[in-house]
Amino acid sequence: MADQVDAPALDEVVRFTSELIRIDTTNRGDGACRERPAAEYAAALLAEAGLEPALLERTPGRTNVVARVEGTDPGADALLVHGHLDVVPAEAADWRVHPFSGEVRDGVVWGRGAVDMKNMDAMILAVVRSWARTGTRPRRDLVIAFTADEEASAEDGSGFLADRHAGLFEGCTEGISESGAFTFHDGRGNQLYPIAAGERGTGWLKLTARGTAGHGSKVNKANAVSRLAAAVHRIGEHRWPVRLTPTVRAALVELAGIYGLEADPDAPGFDVDAFLEKLGPTAALVEPTVRNSANPTMLRSGYKVNVVPGEAVAYVDGRYLPGGEEEFRTTLDQLTGPDVDWEFHHQEVALQAPVDTPTFARMRAAVTEFAPEGRVVPYCMSGGTDAKQFSRLGIRGYGFSPLRTPEGFDYQALFHGVDERVPVEALHFGTRVLDRFLRTA
């Protein structure tokens, strides 16, 4: 199928990415973020394309945008296409280019959100506006959503939309968003394009140890800090058992075929760690999702060096596989022990979507059309996206925000990293692929 996106769309996707980056939507998780200027920007561009975007807020300034594109097949299920407007913080002193400049230099757009995920927001806008100019309509209804608060709890974003505005997503059975269909160079000359068909669940934990407060010079057998430190050490050192989900099994089988390896994940005694060693750098796509995980990240206790506090607190970033929440809970009970309590500081479900569907096949075909040298493989995300909240509406989520990047461009390292940037050519590729997929989906 020939490239149908028009030439203005390729200029617009670069401009939109740059201009969205210039709108500082830093989300520090303290409620101070204001996505409204970016939401109004996106809504105006959608309105120019003849759509009727709704601006929706749970909290003033924490604005979401939702619009529907009517398809040609009224009997088809609708598809949700969503991207978030907020970004994580960036310290300007650490960057080569100011993180909110949106500067286009040497064929690259620089700034916070260039890959996470104002680039995808810009691609969505560029495609929809191209359709308005050319009179193109997709096969199925598309619901376009630009959300607030994804980089924190999503309570003001996708969670609010799913809970309070479910009617806007009527008919949606599947959705696409970030973290998929990007180029992964394996160091052997192969270009892989992983499409996400699953996410580990989010289990951010608060650990609290209590003991006897007292003078730091005295013997204290009920020291809250010691109790907490012991629990944190056990958690940090724990080796979680292998648990292979259907998505990860599918990834292992396809990767085995690419590299000429033997892999039967269902066979007794299959050693996934030994198999991953044979994959070399490609193992990075799979290794984080063959187990649950729990990484201690924050500690808080005490107020003076010679005072033993009565309480000590730690935070742990926990993630669990689809079907792995019960094991996660049971293991944390064992690792924390009798002297430390734990609770979920924030929790979201694990997700899994099938890879043997027409939608996945169409995503594969769209990538292959514009990157025939590439190999599409399914994978499971180690983290999470707004797809978790939209799953409450029965929407199965996929990670599909296509980009073709050159060798040496570490796409995954730029998520939340310093000097975040995206090549102009990658945006052009992504716009073409997204247009191809959304027209045929």
State the CATH number of the domain containing residue 166.
3.40.630.10
Q: Is 31 within the bounds of a domain?
A: yes
- Residue 180: the pLDDT is 95
* 30 belongs to a structural domain: yes
Query: Are 158 and 257 part of one and the same domain?
Result: no
| 286 and 409 belong to one structural domain | no
Residue 359 domain-assigned (yes or no): no
Q: Is residue 66 part of a domain?
A: yes
Q: Which of 158, 125, 127, 165 is nearest to 38 (CA)?
A: 125
> What per-residue confidence (pLDDT) applies to 2?
54
**Residue 413: its pLDDT value, please?**
85
Q: Specify if 370 maps to a domain.
A: no
One domain for residues 218 and 272: yes
Claim to verify: residue 79 and residue 175 sit in the same structural domain: yes
* pLDDT given for residue 3 in this prediction: 66
Q: How far apart are CA 342 and CA 329, in angstroms?
A: 10
We report the CATH number of the domain holding residue 342 as: 3.30.70.360
Q: State whether the Cα torsion 146-148-152-153 is positive or negative.
A: negative
The whole domain housing 336 covers: 202-348
pLDDT at 5: 92
User: Which pLDDT score, from 0 to 100, does residue 46 have?
Assistant: 98
CA-atom Rg of the chain in angstroms: 23
Does one domain contain both 165 and 208? no
- Answer yes or no: do 163 and 211 share one domain: no
**Cβ atoms of 191 and 375 closer than 8 Å:** yes
Within-domain flag for 374:
no
Domain boundary among 348, 377, 398: 348
- Supply the pLDDT for residue 345: 94
Structure tokens at 299: 């500690």
**Sequential pLDDT tens for the chain (441 residues):** 556 899 999 999 999 999 999 999 999 999 999 999 999 999 999 999 999 999 999 999 999 999 999 999 999 999 999 999 999 999 999 999 999 999 999 999 999 999 999 999 999 999 999 999 999 999 999 999 999 999 999 999 999 999 999 999 999 999 999 999 999 999 999 999 999 999 999 999 999 999 999 999 999 999 999 999 999 999 999 999 999 999 999 999 999 999 999 999 999 999 999 999 999 999 999 999 999 999 999 999 999 999 999 999 999 999 999 999 999 999 999 999 999 999 999 999 999 999 999 999 999 999 999 999 999 999 999 989 999 999 999 999 999 999 999 999 988 888 899 999 999 999 999 999 999 999 999
Let me know if residue 92 belongs to a domain.
yes
Q: Based on the domain organization, do 297 and 407 belong to the same domain?
A: no
Residues 220, 341: one domain?
yes
86 is catalytic: yes
User: Quick one: pLDDT at residue 272?
Assistant: 97
Same domain as 159, residue 44: yes
Closest CA to 184 of 392, 421, 371: 371
Query: Of residues 35, 121, 149, 150, which has the active-site annotation?
Result: 150
Q: Is residue 157 part of a domain?
A: yes
How many structural domains are present in the chain? 2
Q: Is 122 in the same domain as 214? A: no
Show which of 324, 348, 372 is a domain's final residue. 348
Q: End of a domain among 293, 323, 348?
A: 348
| Same-domain pairing of 429 and 398 | yes
Q: Could you tell me the two tokens for 159?
A: 């969670």
Same domain, 26 and 161: yes
